[in-house]
Structure 1
Amino acid sequence: MNIPNLLTLARIAFIPLLVVIFYLPYGWSLPLAAALFALASITDWLDGYLARRWDQATPFGAFLDPVADKLMVAVALALLIERYESLWLTLPALVIIGREIVISALREWMAEMGKRGLVAVSWIGKVKTTLQMVALLLLLGFVPGAPVAQLGVATLYAAAALTLWSMAQYLRAAWPHLRRSM
């Protein structure tokens, strides 16, 4: 167990805390939930950086890091779907969650075939993740209808568009190998 792996585990431990803080009936609960999400987002970057910098990458960390990311994002999106009760927020949220499931399955499938490198994280995926984190931070921290929250919804749509684009790229790269396996 090393520091990068502990940071990843901390991100998972933040999830129930995020949910509890989100539902607290106080004016400070939303900014605190957003701050906790921001801290989790920073640990996402930091654990990878430290693992590479200190040469502490482990198979456990490689497995757990994307799981922690997807759990945190899916829970935040689920909280926001409930809060907004709007098709306009639900649609991009479901696109993002659905894409994460598809790409996780695709990566697992490609790893079974020894071709995981074909679906490695791309620069579009990194930009998508950044937009997604910014959108979720804005949406968690402010009440629906606030100008900053509206910016968060627009940013979530941009993230959803990149989500579809990156998914199409991954599927296109993997398609010849998938077709041969059918």
Structure 2
Amino acid sequence: MEEVPVRDVPGPARQIPNALTLLRFAAIPLFVWLLLQDREGPSWWAGIVFALAAITDQIDGFLARRWHVESAFGKVADPLADRLMIDTAVVLLVVLDRLPWVALVILLRDVVLVGGYKLVAPRGFELEVSMLGKVATWGLYASICLVLVTREGTWWPLALFWISLGLAVVAAAGYVLRARRELRD
């Protein structure tokens, strides 16, 4: 697929990736409300909103790279929107007894990443999301969506969640190690 030179992308269209990221932030309260309406599941409407958030995550990154309109805002806001949507879903699913409390380890991972990034960014470290990190995020979005739309206790969405969570933790360790290496040199 041929990349589009930035001069060929109309001005307002250049804002589409960031607008999609902002839509993900705005979708969080709607997602919460919908999930709380269907506490025992399946939660189809919450699952649809969650799936749309996952899809916009893919679209905004694709467009930003293809159109060469990556921004400092997008590099921070895009992963933050993902983290907030996923973390919100996990916390609610734990509270509603649809995920075990151990799933909250995702919050610890995200606090380490966000807090660590705030410490290393001023020293010149730029966080580039690894392919493992992307796969983990896709897996978390997919597995949480499947937990939302299946009956409580369905084993296979939970298995996918645990695999994706494991990948996310490994990816986070990779980011920490890379930051330590680069900042030490």
The TM-score, its normalising length taken from structure 2, stands at: 0.83
Residue matched to 1:154: 159
Residue matched to 1:141: 149
Residue matched to 1:69: 82
Residue matched to 1:56: 69
**Structure number having the greater helix percentage:** 1
Structure 1 residues 124-168: Cα deviation after superposition (integer angstroms, max 9, x where no partner): 1111111111111011112312x3xx2111111111211221122
Residue matched to 2:17: 4
Q: Where has structure 1 moved over 6 Å in runs of 4 or more?
A: 26-29
1:131 matched to 2:142? The reply is no
Unaligned runs of 5+ in 2: 1-11
**Partner residue of 1:37 out of 50, 54, 59:** 50
Cα distance in 2 for residues equivalent to 1:176 and 1:35: 41
1:122 matched to 2:133? The reply is no
Structure 2 residue matching 1:84: 3-state secondary structure: coil
1:86-101 mapped onto 2 (5 Å cutoff): 89-91=100-102, 93-101=103-111
Q: Displacement, 1:26?
A: 9.1
Q: Displacement, 1:28?
A: 8.6
Q: Over aligned residue pairs, what C-alpha RMSD do you find?
A: 2.3
Q: Displacement, 1:175?
A: 2.7
Q: Displacement, 1:29?
A: 7.0
